[in-house]
Amino acid sequence: MSENGTQAENGAATEAVDRHDKVMCSITMAVDGFVAGPRQSLDNPLGERGELLHRWMFEQPEVNAAEIRAQTSAGAFVMGRNMFTSGRGAWDPAWRGWWGEEPPYHAPVFVLTHHPREPLIMQGGTTFNFVTDGIESALTQARAAANGRTVLVAGGASTVNQYLAAGLIDDLWLHITPMTLGSGERLFDGVDVQLQPVDARNTDLATHVRYRVLRQ
């Protein structure tokens, strides 16, 4: 790793990461692998102490500008229902997500669910589309909506693990915070995946490590 924290392993890995039409996951986790704390709820969507994971984004946005830009500039997003709401069962039609009337995505978002719901059009270009026929269907729809741009699998842990297990993620970008949560929603549970390091960069509140996901 060089002094500025960037190391390209080889040309092929760099090319795979820099493709515009790739499927990427960019997710923050504690050093013990948890991306959310225990006892998630409507009042505490990231679980106990889970909000501390994201200090790097909100307290030091300038220092982490490249990583934030990579998370917000995708052409379409995929997320699990638990990232959109902590509820289960039939939809509460009044629920419009955690982010207010103008979510930060500004692009189509495909939410995995077992319960149909009409698309939810928000301000700023975000439309939440609810997909009931699985992860591959959601990804196919997201690719079409992205129109050649990156598709970002946003979370949570269960959704990312499903996409990793299916071999559908090209580029995994981990933002590792110097803390532990002890329990909650954990990345890589039940997943056998081989990763090739592409680059890494350290800041005060997070270490950003980017991997190419190797096909097995």
Supply the Cα-derived Rg of the chain in whole angstroms.
17
Kindly state the average pLDDT of the residues 204-208: 96
User: Is the pLDDT at 174 greater than 80, yes or no?
Assistant: yes
Query: Would you state the pLDDT for residue 19?
Result: 54
Higher-confidence residue: 20 or 177?
Answer: 177
Tell me what percent of the residues of the chain surpass a pLDDT of 70. 90
Residue 182 confidence (pLDDT) above 80? yes
Domains in the chain (CATH in brackets) are: 11-87+102-214 (3.40.430.10)
Long-range CB contacts for residues 204-207, cutoff 8 Å, separation at least 24: 204/56, 204/60, 204/63, 205/55, 205/56, 205/59, 205/60, 205/64, 205/177, 205/178, 206/28, 206/56, 206/64, 206/67, 206/175, 206/176, 206/177, 206/178, 207/175, 207/176, 207/178
What is the C-alpha separation between 167 and 134, in angstroms, rounded?
15
Q: Which residue has better confidence, 45 or 131?
A: 131
**89-148 per-position pLDDT tens digit:** 899 999 999 999 999 999 999 999 999 999 999 999 999 999 999 999 999 999 999 999
What are the residues facing 112 on neighbouring strands? Answer: 80, 131
Between residues 7 and 84, which one has the greater pLDDT?
A: 84
- pLDDT at residue 215, as a whole number: 80
d(CA 25, CA 152): 5
Exposure string for 64-100, b = 16+ CB within 10 A, e = fewer:
beebbebbeebbbbbbbbbbbbbeeeebeeeeebeee
What is the per-residue pLDDT for 20? 65
**Residues β-bridged to residue 45:** none
Q: How confident is the model at residue 42 (pLDDT cuts 50, 70, 90)?
A: confident
Minimum mean pLDDT range among 39-43, 93-97, 174-178, 185-189: 39-43
- Note the pLDDT of residue 16: 38
pLDDT at 45 over 90: no
- pLDDT grade for 50, boundaries at 50, 70 and 90: confident
